């Protein structure tokens, strides 16, 4: 069947059209994305601004038309941290549904971590053993771990690259003391619940997903996306740590010239690198393998599992 997955993230709205059926990898057929920057369209009270709501609504309407044109039988539409954490989430969702016809579900942070873990487990398979998964989004950091398809532990922290950039880098380059304070606060936040994962012992495999980790991996020397999904990619802690001081000193134009960095996300590279380094250090990981599948694929896989259960012969 042909499915549309409408993912409203803190940075980007993304419609992914896939051909999918149980027992096979989802095959991308079409992709449509637009920078929404909802994590940055928040007022002082934490509400999504009128400008942000209008941009989101327009994107959902255009995504619906594209999904229909591409022949999607069903569209799975969801929002993550920026909408989830906004004080006017109900108003945002009601406006989107009224003016675009799209009913957005809102994933909890735990569900976001759980579904991302499912995607990574399916990508690497059972040979990965006990698996740890880290996902830095625009608004939140998800961490999950376990030996099965459902993680034993899964949680979310407000440490997304766009959120941290907005809070700490709004006035331009922070001072060395501010960078040190950010580093200290990020590590304290992650370490607070690190025992959830560490109690299970060292993972047999540790993986990272999504745009921030992909960009950091590319900066650290991983293969470009054009080489295909099947090329192994990883981030080594030593390489990342050596890059962070250089990234802090770079201008936006210099950051945009780095491989794998989108001009619209230059302000998120340093915050993302600080969070990524903290994850690796606190969980004693010398490297993270980059998984090309993430939350969207997890949503698709769970839906296919549900359909398979319903249609299975009795």
pLDDT for residue 22: 82
Q: Are strands 205-209 and 141-146 parallel, antiparallel or unpaired?
A: unpaired
Closest alpha carbon to 207 in 282, 115, 138, 131: 131
Q: Which residues partner with 16 through β-bridges?
A: 5, 31
CB-CB contact of 216 with 270 (8 Å): no
**Which residues of the chain are in CATH 3.30.420.150 domains?**
109-296
The Cα diameter of the chain in Å comes to: 65
pLDDT for residue 312: 55
CATH (residue range 2-106): 3.30.420.40
- Inter-axis angle of helices 266-282 and 161-168, nearest 10: 110
CB-CB contact of 245 with 212 (8 Å): no
CB-CB contact of 81 with 210 (8 Å): no
pLDDT for residue 172: 74
Global pTM reads 0.95
CB-CB contact of 142 with 119 (8 Å): no
pLDDT for residue 170: 76
Q: Which two tokens stand for residue 313?
A: 């012969």
Q: Which residues partner with 78 through β-bridges?
A: 7, 105
The C-alpha atoms of residue 214 and residue 235 are separated, in whole angstroms, by 9
Q: Which two tokens stand for residue 2?
A: 């042909």
Look up tokens 């038309």; give the residue: 65
SS3 letters for 133-180?
EEEECCCCEEEEEECCCCCCEEEEECCCHHHHHHHHCCCCCCCHHHHH
Residues in contact with 141: Cβ distance below 8 Å, sequence separation at least 6, in sequence order = 134, 135, 156, 157, 158, 159, 160, 190, 275, 279
Range list of H helices, the chain: 50-69, 81-84, 89-100, 109-124, 161-168, 176-192, 195-198, 211-219, 237-249, 252-256, 266-282, 295-311
List, run by run, the mean pLDDT of 10-residue segments along the chain (314 residues).
Answer: 95 95 90 92 92 97 97 96 95 98 97 98 97 96 97 97 89 84 97 96 96 97 94 97 96 95 93 98 98 96 84 56
pLDDT for residue 171: 66
**Which residues of the chain are in CATH 3.30.420.40 domains?**
2-106
pLDDT for residue 314: 59
Q: Thinking of the domain 109-296, which architecture would CATH place it in?
A: 2-Layer Sandwich (3.30)
């Amino acid at each position: 069947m042909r499915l549309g997955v409408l993912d409203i993230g803190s940075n980007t709205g993304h419609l992914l059209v896939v051909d999918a059926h149980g027992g096979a990898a989802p095959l991308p057929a079409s992709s449509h994305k637009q920078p929404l920057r909802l994590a940055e369209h928040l007022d002082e009270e934490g509400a999504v601004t009128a400008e942000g709501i209008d941009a989101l609504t327009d994107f959902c309407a255009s995504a619906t038309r594209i999904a229909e044109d591409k022949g999607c039988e069903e569209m799975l539409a969801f929002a993550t941290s920026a909408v989830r954490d906004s004080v006017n989430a109900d108003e945002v969702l009601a406006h989107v549904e009224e003016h675009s016809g799209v009913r957005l579900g809102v994933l909890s942070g735990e569900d976001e971590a759980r579904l991302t873990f499912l995607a990574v487990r399916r990508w690497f398979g059972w040979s990965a053993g006990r698996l740890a998964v880290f996902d830095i989004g625009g608004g939140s950091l998800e961490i999950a771990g376990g030996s099965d398809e459902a993680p034993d532990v899964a949680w979310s922290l407000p440490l997304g690259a766009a959120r941290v950039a907005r809070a700490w880098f709004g006035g331009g380059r922070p001072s060395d003391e501010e960078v040190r304070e950010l580093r200290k606060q990020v590590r304290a936040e992650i370490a607070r619940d690190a025992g959830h994962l560490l109690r299970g012992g060292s993972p047999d495999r540790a993986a990272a997903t999504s745009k921030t980790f992909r960009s950091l991996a590319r900066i650290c020397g991983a293969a470009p996306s054009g080489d295909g999904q099947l090329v192994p990619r990883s981030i080594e802690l030593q390489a990342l740590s050596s890059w962070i001081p250089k990234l802090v000193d770079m201008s936006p134009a210099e950051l945009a010239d780095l491989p794998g960095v989108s001009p619209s996300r230059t302000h998120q590279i340093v915050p993302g690198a600080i969070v990524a380094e903290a994850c690796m250090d606190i969980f004693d990981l010398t490297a993270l393998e980059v998984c090309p599948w993430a939350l969207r694929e997890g949503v698709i896989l769970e839906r296919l599992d549900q359909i398979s259960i319903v249609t299975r012969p009795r």
